[in-house]
Structure 1
Amino acid sequence: MNREDKMLYTVKEASATLGVSIHLVYDLINKGLLPALKLGSLKIRKETLDEFTKKYEGMDLSDLDHIKELNIA
């Protein structure tokens, strides 16, 4: 089964899909920015990842306590 067919991603799979570290995915979950569910281990729905990237497109998430618009100079 390839990633496009999956309904739920592990934190590791979500991090690979987003191209970020596992630690950042846990931080996003702990801050309430990326909803997850615990089904054995933490899982993130494919739709949730899609919604997350749409919601935060054009934003700078370098500091999760101070999310701001991306400013490319």
Structure 2
Amino acid sequence: MEEYLYTVEEMAKILKVNTSTVYKLIKMGYLTTLKLGRYKITKFELLRFLKKYNGMDLTDLADVKEVTFQ
């Protein structure tokens, strides 16, 4: 069965970051969630996030910019 909802922990594994980064993405409005006991992120939201921020450097969420190679 295909997954449609992801927990913060699952999103961290998918994005290859720690859970505190996912919580920061949520808090700063980069990811929208719904709450069913705990925060959940929809598959649609994951795909939207990846498409919107593809090619962007999100290392500093207060200063998101295009990825540059030096």
What is the TM-score normalised by the length of structure 1?
Answer: 0.91
Shift of residue 47 of structure 1?
A: 1.2
Amino acid of the structure 2 residue aligned with 1:67: V
Aligned match of 1:58 in 52, 55, 60? 55
Give the ranges of 4+ consecutive aligned residues of structure 1 lying more than 4 Å apart after TM superposition.
none
Matches of 2:31 and 2:69, distance apart in 1:
25
Identity of aligned residues (%): 49
Paired position in structure 2 for 1:19:
16
Note if 1:29 corresponds to 2:4.
no
Paired position in structure 2 for 1:10:
7
Amino acid of the structure 1 residue aligned with 2:25: L
Paired position in structure 2 for 1:47:
44
Matches of 1:18 and 1:26, distance apart in 2:
12
Matches of 1:54 and 1:20, distance apart in 2:
18
- Segments of 5+ residues of structure 2 without an aligned counterpart are none
Note if 1:68 corresponds to 2:26.
no
- Segments of 5+ residues of structure 1 without an aligned counterpart are none
1:44 counterpart SS class? strand
What CA RMSD, in Å, does the superposition of the two structures yield over aligned residues? 0.8
What is the TM-score normalised by the length of structure 2?
Answer: 0.95
